[in-house]
Amino acid sequence: MFLYFDTNAQDTVRIGVTGLTCSSCSKSVEEEMRKISFVQSIFMNLNSNEATVIIDDSQPVDWMKLAKSVYNAGFSIGYFYVPACGSSNVYFGQMSCGDVYHYIGSQQVLHPQEYYVLVGKFFMDKKTFGKWEKQLKYLPKAMTNVPIYYYY
Amino acid sequence: MWRIISLILINFISVLVHAQELFPDAEPASTVPKGVFGYRLMHKSFQETSSYRIKNWYGIRVMYGITSKWTISTTLGISNHHFQKFPTDIYNYFFNHHLNIYPAPGYHIEGLNFYTKYRFFSLDKHHQHLRLAVFGEGCKSFIAHDDAEPTLMTDNSGVGVGLIATYLYERFAVSLTGGYLKPFKYYQSNIDITFKSGNSAYMELSTGYRIWPAAYSSYSDFNINFYAEFMFKEYGAAKVEQYGVPVDFAYYSQSYPYAYLQLKQNAYIDSRFYLQLIENSNSRFDLGFAIPLVSRSYTYWGPMFLVQYQTYLYNDKKKVKNKPISSR
């Protein structure tokens, strides 16, 4: 129960950065992320190459901007786990997101304290996104080009 | 002796299967992060055995990431390798300028090298990546280059293109660079001389291994990397003409063998070994030496010692300080 109420994870993004093999590379990713206005703090695990980003929820967030900072540093994203946030479609949680999001699966199982997998070609490796594309065939084509929450 | 040391080091790196891609000499296929400036200070030094003179080359390089895939850099070189102009007595110059009976050239601004690189392929995985890049370079030299071998790192005007493939896995890095150089003619009107170095093709194999730390604890961990780089290079003979007449230095190959060797076509394999120290995951200090393995380059006498320092200047428009999030 204690962990349940320690809700800082609500404002925390976890990004698996791929292509990193040294601390200099990790640092260049972190320096790019630090330029973003809604980023409050960053903790980069130099061995697992997972960036834990604390979000300033007083600012509007844009996950694509955060993802692009990784690519700007010259690296890629393996996974992108985000907390729940509101969008023009759905309001959920404390933050407001600039993008339009679509939930995959039943929204009844969503919970604000959980992480969600952000699905999109900029938010995961190509192989994983390819698998998602096959699963998402039933969705309208336009919807597969925008970030998608998935219950984690 | 140097060749034995080289072979031991080659065996050493072939046993190790791990390094880093911050190659001191070769450019990796990776690029400078977007919007980031960096600079590198370089010094190369060797003793010209024939004259016992110490020859130095100093360089400063500024690099910038235009996009995440496109990097540009420029290098300014200063050295005491060459004269700014050929003297009037061209034969005396070519026969004797590597001897101590001939006046030393003094220090001059050698030239400017412009380099651009575009990364067109990336395959990133956990703790590994494969990248491919193309590059082009040009050099404007301000001195009278006098070797058949062209080097666009400021001492020879010309252009070059090439392809780089870099693979990293955990602590090991390997990179292969293939390139072609086309030097321009140097013309000096007061003695009506034209000098053109030979066209050149080269292949460079670079390997690196992170010796320390085995696992990171923070950005402030001191990094120690080892690099071994090998360059195969071939080039054509220099073409020298004065008053419209070709000057054939092969005619003097017996009496002035060094002048002949310096101006004829050649192929060689060179090796460079470096220790690299990285502080705060940004500033790096490289210390190494270069020695010939098979045949030799006539642009230096081995061993040549190399020292350089490089750092990136991150542009923090909005600096985030890691602070605990406020409790709710």
**For residues B320 and B166, what is the distance between their CA atoms, to the nearest angstrom?**
32
Q: Lowest-confidence range among B77-86, B245-254, B306-315?
A: B245-254
Residues of A in contact with B282 (CB under 8 A): 24, 27
**Number of neighbours of residue B16 by Cβ within 10 angstroms:** 15
- pLDDT digit string (tens) for A33-43? 999 999 999 99
- pLDDT digit string (tens) for A78-123? 999 887 665 444 444 445 566 666 666 555 445 555 677 888 889 9
CA dihedral sign of residues B141, B116, B41, B38:
positive
Chain B CB within 8 Å of residue A22 CB:
yes
> Looking at the predicted structure, is the pLDDT value of residue B215 above 60?
yes
**For residues B278 and B295, what is the distance between their CA atoms, to the nearest angstrom?**
33
- Nearest residue to A56 (alpha-carbon basis) of A83, A80, A29, A23: A83
- Both structure tokens of A11: 């404002």
**For residues B138 and B37, what is the distance between their CA atoms, to the nearest angstrom?**
20
Q: Lowest-confidence range among B19-33, B44-58, B137-151?
A: B19-33
- pLDDT digit string (tens) for B98-114? 999 999 999 999 999 99
Put simply, the answer to whether A21 touches B219 (Cβ < 8 Å) is: no
Chain A CB within 8 Å of residue B40 CB:
no
- Nearest residue to B209 (alpha-carbon basis) of B224, B222, B231: B224
Give the per-residue pLDDT at B248. Answer: 87
As a whole number, mean pLDDT of residues B1-26 equals 55
Q: Lowest-confidence range among A54-63, A89-98, B93-102, B225-234?
A: A89-98
Closest CB to A23 among B128, B216, B325: B216
**For residues B63 and A12, what is the distance between their CA atoms, to the nearest angstrom?**
34
Chain A CB within 8 Å of residue B101 CB:
no
Closest CA of chain A from B61, distance in Å:
19
Residues of A in contact with B171 (CB under 8 A): 21
- Specify the DSSP element, H or E, that contains B141: strand B128-141
Closest CA of chain B from A138, distance in Å:
29
Chain A CB within 8 Å of residue B323 CB:
yes
* Strands B108-125, B53-65: pairing kind: unpaired
**Number of neighbours of residue B163 by Cβ within 10 angstroms:** 15
Put simply, the answer to whether A40 touches B282 (Cβ < 8 Å) is: no
- Nearest residue to B110 (alpha-carbon basis) of B64, B153, B68, B46: B153
Q: Which residues contact B93 (CB under 8 A, 6 or more apart)?
A: B86, B87, B102, B146
Put simply, the answer to whether B219 touches A71 (Cβ < 8 Å) is: no
Q: Which residues contact B152 (CB under 8 A, 6 or more apart)?
A: B113, B137, B138, B139, B158, B159, B160, B181, B183
A99: Cα separation from own chain's centroid: 12
- Looking at every residue in chain B, the average pLDDT score rounds to 90
Give the per-residue pLDDT at B328. Answer: 28
> Looking at the predicted structure, is the pLDDT value of residue B310 above 50?
yes
Buried b (16+ CB within 10 A) or exposed e, B312-325: bebeeeeebeeeee
Residue type, B264: K
pTM: 0.87
Chain A CB within 8 Å of residue B189 CB:
no
Give the per-residue pLDDT at A91. Answer: 44
Closest CA of chain B from A97, distance in Å:
19
Give the per-residue pLDDT at A148. Answer: 62
Higher per-residue pLDDT: B62 or B15: B62
Residues of A in contact with B324 (CB under 8 A): 41
Strands (E), chain A: 12-18, 39-44, 50-55, 76-82, 102-104, 116-119, 148-151
- Nearest residue to B223 (alpha-carbon basis) of A49, A75, A25: A25
What is Dmax (Cα atoms) for chain A?
Answer: 43
Give the per-residue pLDDT at A145. Answer: 57
> Looking at the predicted structure, is the pLDDT value of residue B326 above 50?
no
> Looking at the predicted structure, is the pLDDT value of residue B299 above 60?
yes
Give the per-residue pLDDT at A63. Answer: 86
